[in-house]
Amino acid sequence: MIKSHQLDKSDPETTKDIGNSYLQLQDIANARKWYQASLVINKDYAPAINNIANLDSQSGNHNSALELFKQAIAADPNLFPALLGAASSAIALNQPDKAIAFAINALEISPNTLKAHELLGIAYQNTGQQEKAIEHYKKEISRNSAAS
């Protein structure tokens, strides 16, 4: 794959895929480096921004992750993984209203998105809206047998 990038340095998808390969190898530093290389090619390449946001979220840097997820959403408003990531980061930052907005937006784009109802359940639970929380937990369980 690196050879492909050497032959055509204009495709951010190639560098993102190289980053994904490093991520599979659990080499986070190199994964991040290649995702950032995608942004050198195209600063608004939403999948790479989303992947960097995921790395920040996984490392507990939820403020940075949320800002990056928002940047990815601005670049591609239909990128529902970024919307779910933003919802998850907003929950981690105790911003349930933002989480609700992001998760609802993800469901509007893709009504069968797994995890969106779970995130809504958590966010509604965090706002004290237990009935809405239970409603969304039930929806998640009905769509996703692996849901916790």
Q: What is the pLDDT of residue 3?
A: 46
Q: What is the pLDDT of residue 8?
A: 55
Distances (CA, A) of 52 to 29, 140, 141: 11, 27, 29
Q: What is the pLDDT of residue 54?
A: 98
**Is 88 within 8 Å of 57 (Cβ atoms)?**
yes
Q: What is the pLDDT of residues 63-101, one digit of tens each?
A: 999 999 999 999 999 999 999 999 999 999 999 999 999
Distances (CA, A) of 42 to 6, 13, 19, 38, 54: 16, 10, 15, 6, 19
Q: What is the pLDDT of residue 2?
A: 52
The CA distance from 78 to 81, in Å, is: 9
Distances (CA, A) of 141 to 23, 40, 111: 29, 41, 14
Q: What is the pLDDT of residues 107-121, one digit of tens each?
A: 999 998 899 999 999
Q: What is the pLDDT of residue 1?
A: 53
Q: What is the pLDDT of residue 88?
A: 98
The reported pTM is 0.89
CA-atom Rg of the chain in angstroms: 17
Q: What is the pLDDT of residues 10-66, one digit of tens each?
A: 789 999 999 999 999 999 999 999 999 999 999 999 999 999 999 999 999 999 999
Distances (CA, A) of 147 to 35, 113, 118: 30, 12, 8
CB atoms within 10 A of CB 59: 11
